[in-house]
Structure 1
């Protein structure tokens, strides 16, 4: 089994301090690296590094994650700094006062704009969810997508005479597990290096050609209405040098600011 046949883990070398993107007396947000688990899981018994524990040790106090990011996804991860704030922040999600923007590098030329409204049946892990209800009906799942850039390489891979890529902006309206990954795969534009919901032939080519094995999904922005100040908070996580270098190779802009969310 190669590295591309499983979710990419964190390297065993100690990670540097987590990048803190935002902090006030109630909340803190970090730029979670790809491959880092949010919290301890018995599915990864040998893993020793977790975002919750690392951030707690870094700032010297308990933190409470308000949402999740898949292990291979990087980007904005928001925490409460007390259990009371975590409880109050529940309304951010129940009242749709929080918005999350993702950027995904996908196979093929994605549509210019599309609202994906496709219910998703919850997928259970054989170990972690062995007591879960497998008869639960599909849950409502909605994602707004917009294609920002497209590129083509004159290289035949698999059944395709050339390699085509799109950078897709995604705004999930619901929060189902692997929602963006499953929705994009469902329209035949899977995210590059997505082992569970992607095209492994394309994944292997991409990893070798660009020397990159991470999932090309970035939680770039979080917007929320602060429950105590009523101000709109915007938190942005950078894509990183590796992603920008790949984008430049594809003929796209190479500055972080070129990938900021555009104001309507």
Structure 2
């Protein structure tokens, strides 16, 4: 593959722009972690979090073990804020608010949201109409569960456009990608505040003028969310 875009780098960590349709770990072909490690042969790279294959956008890697531990603690303590963009067709059960519930295994590696709250996935979101029948969602993760946003969106009655696992296959296969993008990250580290924002560059639907206008309005996504 072509070289990855390094969005930011210092002595402790690197922020990478992950392309859509690239596995995080190697499966039948090399995954993201392998490519990042090759770009930094003198460092031992540690992923701080992960992204699904269909998801594009910002992902953080520590460049040494101490940084990995420190950044991992921020993530575990919910002090590393992550914001995502998603596109979906249809009318959601609600247009903004919270999605909370335990994640339960479903068929063939999928997950489903339960009404119980023993160890819940917590997602906060706002949304805006782009064109009739389509909305852009800005989502903030308060936990880091597998498929969390994808399951949250399905529970709202609006699975992510192009999501081959959670949207009806006939509809999902018409899209040129899965429309989930890791849009922004904000955290404090070693006395400094870091905030990174990267609009999506892949996917025809993300490039529509109506969508681009909303993304520009959400240039500082943390302003749209109150604390839990």
* TM-score range normalised by the length of the shorter chain: 0.7 to 0.9
- Structure 1: where are the runs of 5+ without partners? 1-14, 127-136, 153-163
Match of 2:35 in 1: 54
1:32 equivalent to 2:18? Answer: yes
Unaligned runs of 5+ in 2: 110-116
Aligned CA RMSD, in angstroms, stands at 2.4
Q: Are 1:188 and 2:157 an aligned pair?
A: yes
* Cα 1:124/1:31, change in 2 over 3 Å: farther
State the alpha-carbon separation in 1 of the partners of residues 52 and 149 from structure 2. Answer: 11
Per-residue Cα deviation, 1:49-97 (whole angstroms, up to 9, x for no partner): 2222211212323211010100110111100001121122221022221
Instruction: Decide which moves more: 117-126 or 92-101.
Output: 117-126
Where does residue 230 of structure 1 map in the other structure?
A: 191
Kept in 1: contact 2:20–2:202 (CA 8 A): no
1:260 maps to 2:219: yes
- Alignment partner, residue 6 of structure 1: none
Contact 2:183 2:198 in 1 (8 A): yes
Find the structure with the greater CA-based Rg.
1
Is 1:80 the counterpart of 2:62 in the alignment? yes
Counterpart position of 1:9: none
Hey, what's the Cα distance between the residues in 2 that align with 1:91 and 1:199? 37
Looking at structure 1, the residues matched to 206 and 184 of structure 2 have their Cα atoms a distance apart, in angstroms, of: 20
Q: Separation in 2 of the partners of 1:115 and 1:245?
A: 24
Q: Specify which structure has the higher proportion of strand.
A: 2
Moved over 6 A (4+): none
Structure 2 partner of 1:8 = none
Contact 1:22/1:28 (8 A) holds in 2: yes
Cα distance, 1:125 vs structure 2 = 6.4
Q: Which residue matches 2:183?
A: 220
So what's the TM-score if we normalise by structure 1? 0.73
Q: Which of 75, 84, 93 pairs up with 1:102? A: 84
From 185, 208, 215, the counterpart of 1:247: 208
Tell which deviates more after alignment, 229-238 or 17-26: 229-238
Q: TM-score, normalised by structure 2?
A: 0.84
How many pairs are equivalent? 214
Answer whether contact 2:20 2:55 (CA < 8 A) is retained. Answer: yes
By how many angstroms is 1:112 displaced? 2.9
In 1, are the aligned partners of 2:57 and 2:198 still within 8 Å (CA)? Answer: yes
